[in-house]
A and B are shown apart, each in its own frame.
Chain A
Amino acid sequence: MEAFTTYTGRAVPLRRSNVDTDQIIPAVWLKQVSRTGFDKGLFSAWREDPDFVLNRPRHEGAGILVAGPDFGTGSSREHAVWALQQYGFRVVIAPRFGDIFRNNSTKMGLLPVVLPADRVEDLQTRVEKDAALEITVDLDKREVRYADVVTSFDIDDYTRWRLMEGLDDIGLTLRHADAITTYEESRPAWLPTAV
């Protein structure tokens, strides 16, 4: 996983709520067996509309997506995270996220930032007025900063540490292999196996 400490850059305002993972990456893209090439599928149905916000040249190269509430609901497809990252996003800001999407993001190093709805709205309005607005997302200080605004966000210490170190969960878990074995020895014998 790519480590995340601070990102400074521009944003794309996506004024939609309930952006489900079927919109982020339509199912047709899920047939791939590799981890690459998903950037082309990002919002592919919506990108057919030349007026869709991602198609506006002034937002090209932006690394922050600022979306409405309930971003990433629906399917568990991690491909949604891969698509956002491969397109160039490092951060998604929204008032609320789908649980599985949020979890998948933190496994991959895409930072989901929850800000209050009015703050998200303010940020979208400012970016719509000035696409060049520079925004800093500081995971160390748990702050989003732009213009004269400094606003803090919550993230638990452990996830923050993992993201800042870029640590892979499997490696961390395998340090406790003995505990797993001990637990396995205590499982009731009547539990089913697929064999």
Chain B
Amino acid sequence: MGRTLAEKVYDAHVVRHAEGEPDLLYIDLHLVHEVTSPQAFDGLRMAGRAVRRPDLTIATEDHNVPTTDLLKPIADPVSRTQVETLRKNCSDFGVRLHPMGDDGQGIVHVIGPQLGLTQPGMTVVCGDSHTSTHGAFGALAFGIGTSEVEHVLATQTLPQTKPKTMAVTVDGALPEGVTAKDLILAIIARIGTGGGQGHIIEYRGEAIRSLSMEGRMTVCNMSIEAGARAGMIAPDETTFAYLKGRPHAPQGADWDKAVEYWTSLRTDDDAVFDKEVVIDAAELTPFVTWGTNPGQGLPLAESVPDPASFSDPAQRQAAERALEYMGLTAGTPLRDIEVDTVFVGSCTNGRIEDLRAVADVLKGRKVAGGVRMLVVPGSMEVKKQAEEEGLHEVVAASGAEWREAGCSMCLAMNPDKLTPGERSASTSNRNFEGRQGPGGRTHLVSPAVAAATAVTGRLAAPADL
């Protein structure tokens, strides 16, 4: 019987297999940031262990970094200590670090692909659940906790049980104005926040094949929001074209060898998935969330649902609670929801293509009075490229703020936060209670919807302008 893409990559990394024990899986790339690593490095110190492969490890500062005043020390002493701890740990253990202010700094899931370090067929881990992003290249990439971070630092491996596989096939072409973000929000609403639990999702079908690498990263990024630790897309010409010439991509004869191997990384025709879902791209429209988990989403044209319409008691109760927290009334058209803040950025939608989509909408338009809009590039490299294209001028002319790179308001560990009761349209990945600041209310949207919303002050798509 044939194997799926996920199984091929998994099998190629098994260091040791023994009946009744988890497999020992080799890790090709370990991404590190300041939040989930300090206790892991401490653990190494206490046990007198070294980092086994510092050359397969790379660190950046992203979660805590302010997006203004980069040259000043971080004002929050606790954030500052965490960032300084990462610097000391990287220096002590010989790990390459891109600190704040460095040209290579950025969100960990933006810089890996940007450097060409994320390649098809690799295993990639990070103490961050959005590591699934790297699956866009046909890598097996998943988030881990701090104990596992320590384990990878010490051994470059992880004990793993082979996950089940799930195919999400998106047939047909995405209609005009429908983006990768709308697609993944619709998938999560369809399969639920637990739908991919215990599985690796492989995204397939014409609509997926037609996505750029940026779009594929947006889709794979939010796999975890559907419960799956990893999402993957088979590498193809789009993948190879993105990688070619990047600083860490193979060169010369190595490139040819790599491409030959990468080309073999596709699910065999006779392979069987444990679970399959088929989605018709033609039915999709701009999609937004109304609740407090990413599965609570609907097409923008719909209205806030009535909790009584949910047959499952847990879902009904969750919807009741969500409406209360979000300050929404059932039956309100989603397009009537007014926002205070618009956030563009994050590992989901902080890449160059996302910023271009935002600038396209903002060009010649103004952010509505009373609305604050933050545009936060995913990395300093993305910021530089955007500025070369003049996107920062479009953003500034509209009245939005053009910031430095980092995770920013996606999780509000830096000074960019919502205040209690404040409502945002956000291109990030989680609408959990308090995610963007205590008491803050988040609607997840695509970059295009975010920009149109900023212009009208209400949830809107560019077609509404």
Binding site for B on A (CB under 8 A): 15-18, 20, 22-23, 26-28, 30-35, 45, 68-70, 73-79, 81, 96-100, 103-104, 107-108, 117, 156-158, 169-170, 172-174, 176-177, 179-180, 183-184, 187-195
Instruction: Give CA–CA (A4, B291) in the complex, Å.
Output: 37
Residue contact A33 to B39, C-beta cutoff 8 Å: yes
Residue contact B47 to A170, C-beta cutoff 8 Å: yes
Quick one: which of B29, B193, B257 contacts A70, CB cutoff 8 A?
Answer: B193
Residue contact B157 to A173, C-beta cutoff 8 Å: yes
The residues of B that contact A75 with a CB separation of less than 8 Å are 128-129, 411, 430
The B230-289 residues at the A interface (CB cut-off 8 A) are 248-250, 254-255, 257-258, 261
Query: Given A15-B317, A30-B35, are A156 and B161 also a contact pair (CB < 8 Å)?
Result: yes
Query: Given A22-B430, A22-B432, are A194 and B29 also a contact pair (CB < 8 Å)?
Result: yes
**Chain B interface residue count, Cβ-Cβ cutoff 8 angstroms:** 88
Residue contact A45 to B433, C-beta cutoff 8 Å: yes
Residue contact B198 to A27, C-beta cutoff 8 Å: no
Complex A-B: 25 CB contacts under 8 Å: A15-B317, A17-B317, A22-B411, A23-B433, A27-B411, A31-B76, A31-B79, A45-B433, A74-B129, A77-B36, A100-B129, A100-B142, A100-B144, A103-B148, A104-B146, A117-B314, A170-B47, A176-B24, A177-B155, A183-B15, A184-B156, A189-B254, A190-B250, A194-B57, A194-B58
Residue contact A22 to B227, C-beta cutoff 8 Å: no
Residue B150, interface by CB 8 Å? yes
Closest chain-A Cβ to B419's Cβ sits at a distance in Å of: 14
Residue B175, interface by CB 8 Å? no
Residue B205, interface by CB 8 Å? no
Query: Given A74-B432, A192-B248, are A170 and B151 also a contact pair (CB < 8 Å)?
Result: yes
Residue contact A18 to B79, C-beta cutoff 8 Å: no
The residues of A that contact B29 with a CB separation of less than 8 Å are 192, 194
Residue B55, interface by CB 8 Å? yes
Query: Given A20-B432, A77-B145, A170-B154, are A179 and B16 also a contact pair (CB < 8 Å)?
Result: yes
The residues of B that contact A193 with a CB separation of less than 8 Å are 55-56, 248
Which residue from chain B places its CB closest to the CB of A96 in the assembled complex? B194
Residue B327, interface by CB 8 Å? no
Residue B147, interface by CB 8 Å? yes
Residue contact A183 to B26, C-beta cutoff 8 Å: yes
Residue contact A76 to B38, C-beta cutoff 8 Å: no
Residue contact B321 to A16, C-beta cutoff 8 Å: yes
Q: Mark B386-419, 1 if CB is under 8 A from A, else 0.
A: 0000000000000000000000000111000000
Closest chain-A Cβ to B145's Cβ sits at a distance in Å of: 4
Q: Mark B206-237, 1 if CB is under 8 A from A, else 0.
A: 00000000000000000011011100000000
Residue among B127, B131, B434 with most chain A CB within 10 A: B434
Among listed B1-9, B115-123, B331-339, B340-348, interface-contacting one: B115-123
Binding site for A on B (CB under 8 A): 15-16, 20-22, 24, 26, 28-29, 35-36, 38-39, 42, 47, 49, 52, 54-58, 63-64, 76, 78-79, 81-82, 85, 96, 116-117, 119, 122, 127-129, 131, 142-148, 150-151, 154-157, 159, 161, 193-194, 197-198, 224-225, 227-229, 248-250, 254-255, 257-258, 261, 292-293, 295, 314-315, 317-318, 321, 411-413, 430, 432-435, 438
Instruction: Give CA–CA (A96, B196) in the complex, Å.
Output: 12
Query: Given A76-B36, A180-B155, are A28 and B413 also a contact pair (CB < 8 Å)?
Result: yes
Residue contact B227 to A70, C-beta cutoff 8 Å: yes
Closest chain-A Cβ to B444's Cβ sits at a distance in Å of: 13
Residue among B96, B117, B157, B295 with most chain A CB within 10 A: B157
Closest chain-A Cβ to B439's Cβ sits at a distance in Å of: 8
14 further A-B contacts with Cβ under 8 Å, apart from A32-B78, A174-B155, A188-B258, are A20-B293, A23-B434, A26-B434, A26-B438, A27-B435, A31-B79, A32-B82, A33-B85, A35-B42, A76-B131, A76-B144, A156-B161, A176-B16, A194-B96
Closest chain-B Cβ to A80's Cβ sits at a distance in Å of: 9
Quick one: which of B151, B250, B430 contacts A20, CB cutoff 8 A?
Answer: B430
The residues of A that contact B39 with a CB separation of less than 8 Å are 33-35, 78
The residues of A that contact B413 with a CB separation of less than 8 Å are 27-28, 30-31
Instruction: Give CA–CA (A192, B24) in the complex, Å.
Output: 21
Closest chain-B Cβ to A7's Cβ sits at a distance in Å of: 21
